[in-house]
Amino acid sequence: MQHRIVVLGAGYTGAVVAGRLAKRLRREDVTVTLVNAEPDFVERVRLHQLAAGQDLRPRPLREVFAGTGVEPRLAKVTGVDVDRRTVAVTDEDGDGELAYDTLVYALGSGWDTQGVPGVAEHAHEIAGRPGALRLRERLAGLDAGRTVVVVGAGLTGLEAAAEIAEARPDLDVALAVRGGLGDWLSPKGREHLRKVFGRLGITVHEHTDVTGVEADRVTTADGRAVPAAVTVWTTGFAVHPIAKATALEVTGTGQIVVDGTMRSVSHPDVYAVGDAAMATGPGGRPLRMSCASGTPAAWQAADAIAARLTGGKLPAASIRYFNQCISLGRKEGLIQYVTADDRAVRAALTGRLAAVYKELVCKGAAWGVANPTLGLPVRRRRVTREGAAAGSAVKAPA
Ligand SMILES: Cc1cc2nc3c(=O)[nH]c(=O)nc-3n(C[C@H](O)[C@H](O)[C@H](O)COP(=O)(O)OP(=O)(O)OC[C@H]3O[C@@H](n4cnc5c(N)ncnc54)[C@H](O)[C@@H]3O)c2cc1C
């Protein structure tokens, strides 16, 4: 009987796990089903570009996985029953169920309104393609001189503000920052950011805590009202509530707690990767929601699953950070080099070279989805009876 591997989510991490498993395991021994709500692989790291009016190359999952042994399934996941080992899905034919022996949960995340009044009703988001497309339409219809306020100045907020300001110099773009602009960056990185934002005409409201969003303004903790024809909310990501509704061990925010092989600490037949997982990285710190750590975590998960199913050696790689790659429009960028545990060091690459570097990183991430073993030849191995049994054991050993 074939071992049924079901991967939920065909984003940067789920797609890589599915593709890599299909390369590592004999086709006669496994089925690899990749469930995704959208028919395309979405380059999420470019959604600020999409919102600013650029077109992204379509990447239909059927084409990406043609001939690989991965079976894409277009459906929305609505629930997971880890006791019955089934996934509830809805597709154009209605409700259905998928049974699994090994599950990989990679549903990613969406925007985090943080319960701030008015955000859900009035603000825009770029955490997913539908939101980015709505913002694109809104910006396209916005008259010159109107104000766009981006709230949140993490990597996504910085990229969004710069991209919109560069694409629409006729708009008045502002950024609301809770602390100081880029205060986690090196002095060189911070200075460059200020220079580029100044050049793009972005107004930066530092030490500003936005506590409410209305149709035409944002309000702040210190009682100010900042005019905003459009508010873009980028204060972080929140995971989908599906995992939290299961018996899996999750964090308070709903991320699945995993060990160093990305295996659930409560259910050994379940793995989680990417934004949906809480994995410990260098220095004992949780891995940040990013492709930077999600992609190596996906390699780790796939190799661990394959090793367990085939009686092979578990991967021993540890995940570390090298840099934070920030696009600042199409012509500028900032590559902030970091320690293994993601703290900025002095060195930073700036300017057009940094923009080119970031573009190559984005291209490389999409290439890596279609080339999950990075082009290296891999031998497909046989799933052993013991491996299959161990891979779908019911409870993790204490
Ligand atoms: C604008 C923007 C810029 C970013 N830039 C960077 C960057 O420069 N560097 C970096 O490292 N990170 C960046 N990130 C973060 C990065 O995109 C995420 O951390 C990464 O995509 C997480 O990968 P994932 O596989 O966990 O989730 P995703 O890539 O989000 O994939 C999740 C998949 O699951 C699918 N899905 C979700 N719910 C369901 C459901 N119920 N049923 C079926 N399918 C479902 C989605 O359609 C999607 O295909 C950026 C994010 C954004 C929004």
Return the pLDDT at 346.
97
Return the pLDDT at 111.
97
Return the pLDDT at 398.
35
47 Cα–ligand 1 center, Å:
10
261 alpha carbon, distance to own chain's centre: 19
Is 291 near ligand 1, meaning CB less than 6 Å away? yes
Task: Say whether pLDDT at 324 is over 80.
Answer: yes
Return the pLDDT at 389.
81
Is 43 near ligand 1, meaning CB less than 6 Å away? no
32 Cα–ligand 1 center, Å:
21
Pocket residue to mutate for ligand 1, from 8, 12, 44, most atoms within 8 A of Cβ? 44
Average pLDDT over residues 332-347: 97
Average pLDDT over residues 53-77: 97
Return the pLDDT at 218.
98
Is 240 near ligand 1, meaning CB less than 6 Å away? yes
188 Cα–ligand 1 center, Å:
29
Pocket residue to mutate for ligand 1, from 33, 92, 278, 290, most atoms within 8 A of Cβ? 290
Task: Say whether pLDDT at 86 is over 60.
Answer: yes
The first and second tokens of residue 149, run together, are 């306020």
CA distance 78 to 191: 46
CA distance 7 to 273: 10
Return the pLDDT at 250.
98
> How far, in Å, are 73, 75, 191, 380 from residue 20 at the CA level?
17, 22, 41, 10
Question: What is the percent of the chain with per-residue pLDDT over 90, rounded to a whole number?
Answer: 94
Mean pLDDT computed over every residue of the chain: 96
| Strand, helix or coil for residue 59 | coil
- The pLDDT-based confidence of 392 (bands split at 50, 70, 90) is low
Q: Which atom of ligand 1 is nearest to the CA of 12?
A: 25
Task: Say whether pLDDT at 10 is over 70.
Answer: yes
Q: Which of 141, 184, 188, 114 is nearest to 350 (CA)?
A: 188
Tens digits of residue pLDDT in 153-183? 999 999 999 999 999 999 999 999 999 999 9
Tens digits of residue pLDDT in 102-125? 999 999 999 999 999 999 999 999
Question: What is the percent of the chain with per-residue pLDDT over 70, rounded to a whole number?
Answer: 98
Q: Which atom of ligand 1 is nearest to the CA of 41?
A: 49
| Strand, helix or coil for residue 285 | coil
DSSP secondary structure of 11-46: SHHHHHHHHHHHHHB-TTTEEEEEEESSSB---GGG
CA distance 226 to 224: 6
Is 45 near ligand 1, meaning CB less than 6 Å away? yes
CA distance 308 to 146: 57
Q: Which atom of ligand 1 is nearest to the CA of 277?
A: 26
Q: Which atom of ligand 1 is nearest to the CA of 132?
A: 1
Is 359 near ligand 1, meaning CB less than 6 Å away? no
Average pLDDT over residues 195-202: 98
The first and second tokens of residue 307, run together, are 């090793």
Cα dihedral value 3, 101, 310, 28, nearest 10: 10
Number of H helices, E strands in the chain: 10, 22
Return the pLDDT at 386.
83
Average pLDDT over residues 58-77: 97
Task: Say whether pLDDT at 294 is over 60.
Answer: yes
110 Cα–ligand 1 center, Å:
8
Return the pLDDT at 208.
97
